[in-house]
A = this chain, B = another copy of it.
Amino acid sequence: MSDSSSADSPITLHLAYLLAQANREINRQLDARLRAEGVPVEQWRILKLLSDGNGRSMGELAENALLNHPTLTKTIDRMVADSLVYRISDPADRRKVLIYCSDRGKALARKLAPLALDQEAHIVNSYGDKATAQLKRLLETLIERAG
C-alpha cells in the first residue's frame, strides 16, 4: 500500500502558502492603485474602518487593521501629521485613546473607496461571481474558526 503519511507534499500545496500567495498578489494589486494616490494599504484600511464607524480605540483599530500596537501607534502618528485623523482621550476610560477621521480623512476615504471596489469588480469579472462568493464564504468561516 502507498504510504501517504510520509509523502511530503510540496509547499506550493500547503494552505498557509496558498493563502500567503493569494494575499500577496491581491494586495499588491490594491496597493498599486492606492499608492498612485499616495496612500499605503494600511492607511486605507484605517480610513475605511473609521468611515464604517468613527471613533475607535487603538486596540480595536489594531485588531481590525491587522497591525500590532506599536505599528499602529506610529501609523496613526503619520496620519495625524497629515491631518487625516485625530486622537481624543476616551472620557469613559482614560487609558483609551479614540481615533476619529477628520473631514480631510473622510474626503480621502470617499475618493479611495471606488478604487478598492473597482479592483474587486475586476477580480469578480475574471474569476467569476459564484467562485468569488464561495471563496469569501469559505474565508469567513476559516477566520471564524481560527480566531
Contacts and interface: CB of A to CB of B under 8 A. Distances in A.
Given A23-B20, A126-B145, A15 B132 contact: yes
A36 interface: no
Interface stretch (A88-96, A99-107, A134-142): A134-142
Contact of A49 (B11, B18, B19, B21): B11
A69 to B, nearest CB: 15
Given A19-B139, A23-B20, A11 B145 contact: no
Interface in A12-44: 12-27, 29-30
Contacts of A143: 18, 21-22, 25
Interface residues of A, number: 49
A70 interface: no
Given A135-B138, A141-B131, A145-B126, A16 B25 contact: no
A3 interface: no
Given A17-B45, A20-B66, A21-B66, 4 more contacts: A24-B66, A126-B145, A127-B145, A135-B142
25 contacts: A8-B117, A10-B52, A11-B45, A11-B48, A11-B49, A14-B120, A15-B26, A15-B123, A16-B26, A16-B119, A18-B139, A18-B143, A19-B19, A20-B66, A22-B142, A23-B23, A25-B147, A26-B146, A123-B142, A123-B146, A127-B142, A131-B141, A134-B134, A135-B139, A138-B138
